[in-house]
Structure 1
């Protein structure tokens, strides 16, 4: 927005320094003047010479100035002193303000580069920890997070484009086959089109859910994680039976605040991920809820293959399934743990992934406990 041009901060500081110095000088001169008035008579006094008895010596003539005489002598000197203080204040204030605002100039330069799209630049301000150093360090942290977020968004856009292109390309191929040879349009072709279209719909809905979680556009209500976990398990029992997986639930009430729909999606994604990425037969999933250190904790643990600890951070990235971006039957669209991470962060919680020593994965979600409300 257009704003009127005002005085620079450097000029304002210079005028402030000079003004303060002038005020202090004027106050000092005023104190000296008042102090002198105590010992100066109202009018000038002249003591005439007189002879000393014996003729040995003569007393000198004495002149004691009055207040008006003292003012005529004091005023020019005081004015010259104030002018000198003004010059010193302006010059010294200008130089001092430039030195004091030098870190701010570096921060402004970095901010302009960031506004132009360059997020790799850092201020790296030297010197002791003061207000400018804290501002510069905070700005550097913000730039680092923005750079990481931009890189993540670019990877996400590329992966999403790839994932969406795959079902669309399959659909296009099937439709081309049907158009060239209408006699080959069979129930199998229609079923394949239906499956591919359903997968594209699921992917689109997952992307919308991820976007909603990132925007935090939801109403916070009282939610019990134990009830949410039980509902998610009941919904996925048919899936667990098809995969030969046993799901066990335990734990006490774990009250928190947030969106019941998003937290249900979080629990559903965790349980579904634990079921489909499990042992082929006789797999186990444990779902527990606890309250510890002012946090509501949901833990989902499953058996499965041995996981490399270095691989765990990549599991929460969009479209990542272990070390490869692959599709398997019932494996989902590759956004399960990414959605879990976004929902957890939107609820000011933490997500922890750990590889089990005997194989499989342990996922822990810690959310702030619901505060105690009066009368409840």
Structure 2
């Protein structure tokens, strides 16, 4: 927005300080003048031209005093305003650098806590979050580009084979193209779901998280049987609010992840829901490989699959837990990943509880 140039804040404060000093001086001189003219003094002989003599004696002194106060107020006000506004100048410089793309700079204002230091610390925290978000988005864009490029490259290779080798089995090529195309569609839909959840562009409704867990478990039961995994469920009525579609997707992703990243055989998945003060809890726990806390903390990053970036028939597109994390944040919840000492992982989701009679 274009604005007309105006006086700087430092100059305004300087004039304010000088004006206050001048006003205080004028009031003091006025009080002295009244005192000299109105208050009787013992032994003082009042002559007819006394007032004129007082004016002639008092006026030059008053003018000199007011001149001194003006200079002192301007000089002192300029110095004091500069010292007071120095933190604001540093904050402005940091904001200007941030607008030009430099998010690594921090103000780190020294001294004890006051309004300016609180503002500087808040601004530093905002810059840190913004820098982390931008870095995350850059990594996500790079990974998404790589993931989308792979099925396209495979499709191009298969089509080149079909064109250059007419004797090649056409049915096999079509089947492989179908698999690759399905993967590309799944990845695109996952990216769209991430974007939708991140924008919070959904209507909140009344949701029972235990029903979401039950539906997700029933849907994925055939997959669990295929992989030799047993699912055990338990829980209570867990009322919350949010998007039923997104929360069902979240629960499905958690159970799906627990099934496919499990023991080669005789694995187990535990799905439970419960209520804590002010919150509802969904816990999904599974057997599997032993994980370190460092590895567990990275599993919600996009395109992270288990202990490494793997590609199997059940690995998905690498956005399962990333979608869970995004949906959780969009519903003002918390997500905790804790490795189990005997192998596998425990994922705990907490969402704000609502009254079952409250409208969403």
Is the TM-score greater than 0.5? yes
Residue aligning to 1:21:
21
Match of 2:298 among 310, 314, 326: 314
Residue aligning to 2:287:
303
Whether the aligned pair in 2 keeps the contact of 1:159 and 1:319 (CA below 8 Å) is yes
Residue aligning to 1:52:
none
* Counterpart-to-counterpart distance in 1, 2:296 and 2:44: 101
Distance 1:77 1:272, change over 3 A: same
* 1:148 CA displacement: 1.6
Distance 1:202 1:46, change over 3 A: closer
CA RMSD, 1 decimal: 2.3
> Tell me, what secondary structure is at the counterpart of 1:288?
strand
> Tell me, what secondary structure is at the counterpart of 1:316?
coil
Tell me which structure has the larger Cα radius of gyration.
1
* Counterpart-to-counterpart distance in 2, 1:67 and 1:288: 97
> Could you report, residue by residue, the CA deviation over 1:289-315 in whole angstroms, capped at 9, with x for unpaired residues?
111131111111111111122211111
Match of 1:212 among 169, 186, 196: 196
Provide TM-score, normalisation by structure 2.
0.92
Residue aligning to 1:33:
33
User: Structure 2 stretches of 5 or more lacking a match?
Assistant: none
Whether the aligned pair in 1 keeps the contact of 2:216 and 2:248 (CA below 8 Å) is yes
Residue aligning to 1:55:
none
Matched, 1:90 2:74: yes
User: Structure 1 stretches of 5 or more lacking a match?
Assistant: 48-61
* Counterpart-to-counterpart distance in 2, 1:372 and 1:106: 51
Larger deviation: 24-33 or 366-375?
A: 366-375
Matched, 1:239 2:223: yes
Distance 1:38 1:242, change over 3 A: same
Residue aligning to 2:328:
344
Query: Structure with the greater relative contact order (CA < 8 A, sep ≥ 6): 1 or 2?
Result: 2
Whether the aligned pair in 1 keeps the contact of 2:17 and 2:73 (CA below 8 Å) is yes
Larger deviation: 150-159 or 266-275?
A: 150-159
Matched, 1:169 2:172: no
Whether the aligned pair in 1 keeps the contact of 2:162 and 2:170 (CA below 8 Å) is no
* Counterpart-to-counterpart distance in 2, 1:150 and 1:33: 68
Matched, 1:199 2:199: no
Distance 1:75 1:159, change over 3 A: same
Whether the aligned pair in 2 keeps the contact of 1:110 and 1:121 (CA below 8 Å) is yes
> Tell me, what secondary structure is at the counterpart of 2:288?
coil
* 1:98 CA displacement: 0.9
* 1:373 CA displacement: 6.8
Larger deviation: 315-324 or 234-243?
A: 234-243
* 1:361 CA displacement: 0.7
Residue aligning to 1:108:
92
Residue aligning to 1:9:
9
